[in-house]
Amino acid sequence: MKPWLVLGAASLLAAAAAPSPSAMSAGERAFARCVACHSIEPGEDTPAGPTLHHVVGRPIAGRPGFDYSPAMRRFALEHGRWSPRLLETFLAAPESIVPGTEMSSEGIADAAERRALIAWLRRLD
C-alpha cells in the first residue's frame, strides 16, 4: 500500500472520530477553554491544574498530591466543597473570588455557558 494512502486514511479516520463543533454540547464547547490546563480523566492532574473529574462536590483544593496555591488552600478552609453555585461564582471571576489564585483564566462571562460547563462536568462523574 502506498504511504500517502495510509496517511490519508488515518487522517480521515481521525477526523471522523472527532466530534464536529455542532455535535458537541454547550458544556463540551465551554470546556475547550479549560483543556489547556485541566484534564477530565480520573487521576490525571496536569502541572497547571487538577483534573476536573468529580469536581462538583469535591473538597476544594482536595486532590491529593496537587500543589494548590496558598490562596486556594485558604479559600478551601472557608468554603469546604465545590457546589454547583460556588463553581459558577468562581468561574465567573476566579481572581475576584479567590484573590491570588494561580488560575490564569479571566473567567466565563456568560452565565449560560458556565451552567452548561458545570452540568457537563456533573454528567462525567
For the chain of 125 residues, list the mean pLDDT of each consecutive stretch of 10: 44 44 79 94 94 96 95 97 97 96 93 96 86
pTM score of the predicted model: 0.79
- Region label for 93, one of left (φ > 0), alpha (ψ between -120 and 50) or beta (otherwise): beta
**CATH class of the structural domain 25-124:** mainly alpha
Give the closest residue to 31 by CA, choosing from 114, 98, 106: 114
Confidence at residue 47, expressed as pLDDT on a 0 to 100 scale? 93
Domain boundaries in the chain? 25-124
